[in-house]
Amino acid sequence: MGTIVVVGSSNADLVIKAPRLPKPGETVTSGAFFRARGGKGANQAVAAARAGGQVVLIAALGLDALGDDAIDGFEAEGIDTAQVRRIADVPSGVALIMVDAAGQNAIAVAEGANALLTARDIRACEPVIAAADVLVVQLEIPLEAVTEAVGIAHQHGRQVILNPAPACRLPDQLLSRISVLTPNASETELLTGLAPDDAAALDRAADALLARGIGAAVITLGVSGAFVVTRDRRETVTAWPVTPEDTTGAGDVFTGALAVALAEGTPLIDASRFANAAAALSVTRRGAQPSAPRRHEIIGLIDGRGPA
């Protein structure tokens, strides 16, 4: 079993599934409401734990009921929460999510305690990061915390996965320390200035990412699968045909499952197939963390048995 350290955000997701997403100034009725645990870091930690990894989470939560609920959820999944900072007088993060009938979503986030995770907090966790097989980071926490975590992992020779979401511009010094980048199409466009909307554009975007020093990339393309890019190989991993219920968190499930496979020593192409199967299962279910599949389900899909 590989050890994965996830440094990232934790939110409470307040979700409305509506017939369609509202336009600016418009109210759409006939929606169904539910609450789920979320946040990109938390989602990836849960996805990795369910996929078979031994997971440690480094995050910040408010000293409030939402934070208590998040901790309860992590511990129920077997995730080590000893490095989760609790902050008084600051709310835990909250995401307001709308999902339409086709499974597409629109999300607004109030960062709360997530915005207070500091580089100093990360430095205090150096022994934990140094002992990991894989470090996973995203961008819903301050960039200084991400940079510190990546620097520590790089110093100790650990593999680093960066899911560059929410999309923002990133320095080459940070990207040059990333083992595997997992952007979607829009994040790829922001990082390279190239929309990967056909095979030729994908190749150009891949060249641009590698030129920035990234070790490898897996560009997730939804129903078109995932494009795996290394210095000596490029290959498309085909998507599993499923009917989407809710795409929220699919990229996080992909990244968490990918981390598990890489921590176990699986080659990147095969690890991407494992992650693609996990993400496919996740979009057939509602919610971010609740949708993450168990390891036996992922293997069952890959082996042609369907979810076990």
The CA-CA-CA angle for residues 116, 122, 123, to 5°, reads: 130
- The type of residue at 282 is S
The pair of structure tokens assigned to 170 is: 């990133």
CA distance 100 to 19: 5
The pair of structure tokens assigned to 211 is: 């030129």
- Whether 80 sits among the annotated catalytic residues: the reply is no
Cα–Cα separations (whole angstroms), residue 235 to 206, 210, 222, 239, 287: 11, 15, 15, 13, 30
| Rounded (to 5) percent helix, strand, coil in the chain | 40, 25, 40
Of 80, 133, 246, 252, the catalytic one is 252
The pair of structure tokens assigned to 115 is: 């915005």
Q: Which residues participate in catalysis according to the annotation? A: 252
